């Protein structure tokens, strides 16, 4: 059986402008939503507060629970029917200034008074504001480090520039830690944003094109997943962050499959323009991309529908991330490769002015001896062709 026929040829690269537009709009929507909601909707893990899951012996409703909770100052708590059976509820309060110490005990006492027939406290989560702030920092740093380490790995594996990538990462981590030490307990969000921008710029200047494509796609996936959560006003919890980190690791799989195929096709030589090579690679690996994401989506849907309320949001974040990740590895990561001018590291450009003559790559890091000439030949050929790509691409399509 075949879902996607072998000879398929869809012009993905040609549609990349449209894709960039869609992605751009989604990212814009994310920022607007975050702005309107006043930042991410932090759950109690990050905001501090209390969550109590209670199952009552008899059915009840949020209004009477609210009334019962009045003596402990939680009458404005969020009360949510858990599992839609009318007898189990999530009670959540993030009110600042709420005295959290011993609060769960006081909640038990008032519930015991209001519900003499009985109830069972099934879950209590209480996070002090201090811990919440710490966790927020740690979560952001974790996402940043994951992106950075993956950037190093991609640069190393795909461009044989291990040393360069490692030095870059070390400098970034060093600066991050240093600035963190200087600003102390303050907000690290701007710091992370600056670090990411620097990472992207470094990839651009050092011509780490595969790394650039991969990281742009990853940041894209993370932002849009965050955006979906923000638009649906879902809460950010530790589990959401775990899902984001997993997405960072997993959504790259499809990207790597395509990148590997691009490299393989480039090694074969031929006089095809880079855009064509990339588009062919995406098409050749399309069935793989769809199938691998498909099996993962199947298990995630099963987890989302059957896994129970505790894990629901986690499964949802992963679902969104896998869908967005699949889209981005087809429409975002690969076309980004075209955005970078061919070949030479930015510094060398000034030393060797005529770009056409500089066919062999003056890359600072050693190339793998056997493949180097072939690759650069293919790339140089592609470079010449690339200028005409817009005219030729359509003609060359099968």
Partner 1 sequence: MPKNIMWKAVLVLVLLVGALFYLVPTFSSNLPSWWQEMLPSDKIRLGLDLQGGMHLILEVDVAKAEQAAVERASQELRRKLREEKIRATRPEAIGDGRIKLTLLTKGEQAKFEDLIGNQFPWYDIASATTDPEGRVEIILKLKPSEAKRIREQAAAQALEIIRNRVDQFGVAEPEILPQEGGRILVQLPGIKDPQRAVALIGKTAQLEFKLVDDTVNPRTVTKATLPPGDELNYIYRRDHTTGRVSKEPIVIRKRASMTGETITDARVRVDSQYNEPYVSISFDARGKRQFADLTSRNVKKRLAIVLDGKVQSAPVIQEPITGGEARITGDFTMEEARDLAVVLRSGALPAPVRVLEERTVGPSLGQDSINQGIISMVVGFLLVVLFIAFYYKASGLVADMALFLNIIFIGAALAAFQATLTLPGIAGIILTIGMAVDANVLIFERVREELRLGKTPAAALDAGYGKATLTILDANITTLIAALVLFQFGTGPIRGFAVTLSLGIASSMFTAIYVTRLVFDLVLTRYSVKRLSI
- Quick one: which segment of 21-29, 191-199, 201-209, 303-311 binds partner 1 (CB under 8 A)? 303-311
Q: HSE (CB half, 13 Å, CA atoms) of 120? A: 6
Calculate the dihedral angle through the C-alpha atoms of 137, 138, 144, 146, rounding to the nearest 10 degrees. Answer: -170
Give the total residue count for the chain. 398
Interface stretch with partner 1, choices 57-65, 152-160, 175-183, 219-227 (CB under 8 A): 152-160
Interface with partner 1: number of residues (CB under 8 A):
71
For residues 265-284, which are near partner 1 according to CB under 8 A?
284
Kindly give the residue spans of alpha helices, DSSP state H, lying in the chain.
Answer: 16-36, 44-47, 62-69, 103-114, 129-159, 162-183, 189-205, 209-231, 238-267, 274-284, 286-306, 309-328, 334-339, 346-351, 372-386, 389-396
Choose between 117 and 130: whose C-beta lies nearer to partner 1.
130
| Candidate list 178, 298, 339, 347; residue touching partner 1; CB under 8 A | 298
Taking alpha carbons only, the member of 290, 282, 309 closest to residue 85 is 309
For residues 206 and 252, which CB has a smaller minimum distance to partner 1 in the complex? 252
Q: To which residue do tokens 């590895």 refer? A: 329
CA distance 350 to 249: 37
239 counts as binding partner 1 under rule CB under 8 A: yes
245 lines the binding site for partner 1 (CB under 8 A): yes
Residue closer to partner 1 by CB (options 131, 205) is 131
- Residue nearer to partner 1 on the CB measure, 1 or 36: 1
Q: Which is nearer to partner 1, 24 or 294 (CB)?
A: 294
Name which of 158, 203, 163 is nearest 346 in CA terms. 203
- CA 229 to CA 26: how far, in whole Å? 12
Tell me how far, at minimum, the Cβ of 21 lies from partner 1, in Å.
Answer: 28
Site for partner 1 contains 84 (CB under 8 A): no
Exposed, middle or buried by CB within 10 Å (0-12, 13-18, 19+), for 346?
exposed
Contact call for residue 182 and partner 1 (CB under 8 A): no
Q: Is the Cβ–Cβ distance between 148 and 199 less than 8 Å?
A: yes
Of residues 50-79, which lie at the interface with partner 1 (CB under 8 A)? 53, 55
**Span 104-133, contacts to partner 1 by CB under 8 A:** 104-105, 108, 120-128, 130-131
Which tokens go with 395?
């003609």
Containing 124, the helix (H) or strand (E) segment is strand 119-127
Least distance CB 154 / partner 1 (angstroms): 8
- 323 touches partner 1 by CB under 8 A: no
**Closer CB to partner 1, 242 or 372, in the complex:** 242
> Which residue, 4 or 179, is less far from partner 1 as judged by CB?
4
Among 73, 173, 179, 260, which residue sits at the site for partner 1 (rule: CB under 8 A)? 260
Considering only CA atoms, which of 141, 323, 304, 306 is closest in space to residue 234?
304
Nearer to partner 1, 246 or 371 (CB): 246
Which CB sits closer to partner 1, 53 or 60? 53
Work out how close the CB of 131 gets to partner 1 at its nearest, in angstroms, rounded to a whole number. Answer: 5
367 binds partner 1 (CB under 8 A): no
User: DSSP character for 332?
Assistant: I
- For residue 211, which of 253, 154, 169 has the smallest C-alpha distance? 154
Among 65, 172, 212, 257, binds partner 1 (CB under 8 A): 257
The residue within the footprint of partner 1, chosen from 190, 307, 364, 373 (CB under 8 A), is 307
> Which residues lie closer than 8 Å to 381 by C-beta, 6 or more apart?
271
**Hey, what are 389's tokens?**
């790509």
Q: Which of 314, 316, 327, 331 binds partner 1 (CB under 8 A)?
A: 314
Residue 185 or 353 having the CB closest to partner 1: 185
Report the alpha-carbon distance of residue 223 to residue 229 in Å, rounded: 10
Question: Are the C-beta atoms of 248 and 219 separated by less than 8 Å?
Answer: no
Which of the residues 192 through 211 are near partner 1 (CB under 8 A)? none
Select the span of 141-149, 221-229, 350-358, 363-371 touching partner 1 (CB under 8 A). 141-149
Told to check if 238 binds partner 1 by CB under 8 A, we report yes
């Amino acid at each position: 059986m075949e879902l996607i026929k072998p000879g398929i040829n869809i012009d993905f690269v040609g549609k990349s402008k449209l894709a960039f537009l869609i992605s751009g709009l989604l990212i814009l929507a994310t920022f607007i939503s975050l702005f309107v909601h006043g930042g991410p909707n932090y759950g109690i893990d990050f905001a501090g507060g209390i969550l109590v899951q209670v199952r009552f012996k008899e059915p009840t409703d949020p209004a009477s629970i609210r009334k019962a909770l009045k003596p402990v100052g939680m009458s404005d708590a969020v009360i949510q029917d858990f599992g839609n059976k009318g007898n189990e509820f999530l009670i959540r309060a993030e009110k600042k200034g709420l005295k959290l110490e011993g609060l769960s005990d006081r909640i038990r006492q008032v519930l015991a008074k209001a519900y003499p027939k009985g109830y069972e406290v099934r879950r209590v989560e209480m996070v002090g504001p201090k811990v919440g702030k710490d966790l927020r920092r740690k979560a952001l740093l974790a996402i940043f480090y994951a992106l950075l380490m993956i950037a190093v790995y991609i640069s190393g594996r795909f461009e044989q520039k291990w040393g360069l990538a490692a030095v870059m990462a070390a400098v970034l981590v060093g600066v991050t830690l240093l600035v963190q030490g200087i600003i102390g307990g303050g907000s690290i969000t701007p710091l992370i944003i600056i670090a990411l921008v620097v990472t992207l710029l470094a990839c651009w200047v050092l011509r780490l094109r595969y790394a650039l494509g991969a990281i742009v796609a990853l940041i894209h996936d993370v932002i849009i997943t965050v955006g979906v959560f923000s638009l649906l006003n879902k809460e950010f919890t530790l589990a959401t962050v775990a899902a984001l980190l997993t997405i960072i690791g997993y959504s790259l799989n499809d990207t790597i499959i395509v990148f590997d195929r691009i490299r393989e096709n480039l090694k074969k030589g031929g006089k095809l323009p880079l855009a064509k090579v990339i588009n062919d690679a995406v098409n050749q690996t399309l069935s793989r991309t769809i199938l691998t994401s498909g099996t993962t989506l199947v298990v995630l849907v099963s987890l989302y529908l059957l896994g129970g309320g505790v894990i629901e949001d986690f499964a949802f974040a992963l679902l969104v991330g896998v869908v967005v990740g699949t889209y981005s590895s087809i429409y975002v990561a690969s076309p980004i490769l075209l955005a970078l001018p061919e070949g030479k590291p930015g510094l060398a450009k000034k030393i060797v002015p005529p770009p056409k003559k500089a066919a062999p790559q003056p890359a600072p890091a050693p190339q793998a001896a056997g493949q180097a000439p072939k690759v650069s030949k293919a790339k140089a050929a592609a470079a010449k062709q690339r200028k005409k790509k817009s005219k030729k691409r359509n003609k060359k399509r099968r």
